[in-house]
Amino acid sequence: MSAGLNLIAADLGASGGRVILGKFNGRTIDIQELNRFSNVPVSANGTLYWDILSLYRGVREGLTAAQSRMDGIDGIGIDGWGNDFALLDRNGRLLAKPVHYRDDRTLGMMEKVFERVPREQIYRQTGIQFMRFNGLYQLFSLFYNNDPITGIIGTFLLIPDLLVYFLTGSKISEFTNATTTQMFSPHSMDWAKDLLGNLGIPGDIFIPAVKPGTAVGGLTRGNACETGLSNAKVIAVAEHDTASAVAATPAEDDGFVYISSGTWSLMGVELKEPVISDLTYRYNFTNEGGACGTFRLLKNVMGLWIIQECRRCWERRGQKYTFAQLEEAASHAAPFRYFIDPDDDVFASPDDMPAGIAGFCRDTGQDPPETAGGYVRCVMESLALKYRFVFERIEKITGKTYNKIHIVGGGVKDRMLCGFTACSTGKG
């Protein structure tokens, strides 16, 4: 990097977004938060949607705030979560709000897909972990159910790509995020159009993926006028948030395992090539694109979503807790009393998360927790032990011994979970 760069990063998460200004002077980066906004899904007529226009407004407000702080911006990048997408018509108009990955439209879709293309064949082509909310099953559900929208699709865009399109008017597909969908082939480095064709999904709605670092273009005239950033260029960064987080891991070698900790926990290693083998298929590991042409061999583990949903449920009942209060209560709860599998389907999108935990405990012969602290400690200990389970499988797959675990993402603020993870794995 050259000296004197002013850069803006818009980082979108499952519960909120933020716009950050980074000033690079040739040696260090000074970071300032420009804007923070919530990301709250909206349920309408039985479908759960992302409020995409609210996110777009939040990004633009951050860009506007940047203009007042300096003379010029050298680059703008957006990252976000994977799999969820928007569909444009042939005139480039948004056909509908993007549907949330926790919506029920994917129920039973994996089995329907496997009736047409064998499960192992899909894995061999894509190298991606099987999860019912993968973009493959979300998109297939529309074609399987003969949704009228399928007849007028012009372009498929993932969420960060859609916001780039709103800002610039240019349609792109970025490599790291494309790989998450289970519709991209690391062998051909292109969309798996044979797989898609066998499922009745037209390949011409997909744009060839570009590498992270590709310049997209300037803001549209309207956006440039509103934000005051007339000369700013948008860059297709590593748009999957985990790809960006791993690229920023404070390590000088590759001898470590990372956990990107937040709503989800993504635990793995970064490699030069994907690992698509009998063992990774059996362990259901995923190979997602990295920031510099690498691949992230990892396992998606349910993360702090479980705590977030418990807190939301308790608040509906009039019991309001801060995260600090919950952690303090958990520190006084009895250790090793209850255990759950965080990845059990019961925790994917329950109406009542504490009831889901209690039900899992009863079904596995355990008495359920009796206090909020007990529930939180149960989740924290269970996550830490699941990390150890995944860590041991990573070492078996790669044939390497790893002495360090780097935790990145919002979950690093959770000292209890970080401490439990260090104790369960024996790694610092």
194 touches 187 (CB < 8 A): no
- The DSSP letter of residue 302 is E
What does the alpha-carbon distance between residue 423 and residue 370 come to, in Å, rounded to a whole number? 25
The 10s digit of each residue's pLDDT in 231-264 is: 899 999 999 999 999 998 887 777 899 999 988 8
Over residues 205-218, the mean pLDDT reads: 96
Q: What percent of the chain has pLDDT over 90?
A: 86
What is the CA angle 371-374-376, rounded to 5? 115
Confidence of residue 4 (pLDDT cuts 50, 70, 90): confident
**Mean pLDDT computed over every residue of the chain:** 94
The 10s digit of each residue's pLDDT in 288-316 is: 999 989 999 999 999 999 999 999 999 99
Confidence of residue 3 (pLDDT cuts 50, 70, 90): low
416 touches 330 (CB < 8 A): yes
Structure tokens at 311: 């807190």
Strand, helix or coil for residue 398: helix
The 10s digit of each residue's pLDDT in 66-123 is: 887 666 889 999 999 999 999 999 999 999 999 999 999 999 999 999 999 999 999 9
Q: Is domain 240-428 in CATH 3.30.420.40, yes or no?
A: yes
| pLDDT at residue 412 in the model | 86
Q: Which residues are catalytic?
A: 241
102 touches 47 (CB < 8 A): no
- pTM (predicted TM-score): 0.89
What does the alpha-carbon distance between residue 101 and residue 134 come to, in Å, rounded to a whole number? 8
Over residues 344-352, the mean pLDDT reads: 89
The 10s digit of each residue's pLDDT in 148-163 is: 999 999 999 999 999 9
Instruction: Please list the residues that pair with 268 across neighbouring strands.
Output: 258, 298
357 touches 375 (CB < 8 A): yes
Q: Fold for domain 5-239? A: Nucleotidyltransferase; domain 5 (3.30.420)
- The DSSP letter of residue 220 is P
301 touches 265 (CB < 8 A): yes
Structure tokens at 37: 């906004």
| Dihedral over alpha carbons 112, 114, 115, 120 (to 10 degrees) | 180
* Neighbouring residues of 326: CB distance < 8 A, sequence distance ≥ 6: 307, 311, 372, 373, 376
The alpha-carbon radius of gyration of the chain (Å, integer) is 22
Rounded to the nearest angstrom, the gap between the alpha carbon of residue 32 and the centroid of all alpha carbons in its chain is 23
Count, in order, helices (H) and strands (E) of the chain: 15, 19
Whether 1 has a pLDDT exceeding 50, the answer reads: no
Instruction: Please list the residues that pair with 48 across neighbouring strands.
Output: 43
Structure tokens at 279: 């063992």
The 10s digit of each residue's pLDDT in 160-172 is: 999 999 999 999 9
Chain region(s) in the chain for CATH 3.30.420.40 = 5-239, 240-428
The 10s digit of each residue's pLDDT in 370-384 is: 999 999 999 999 999
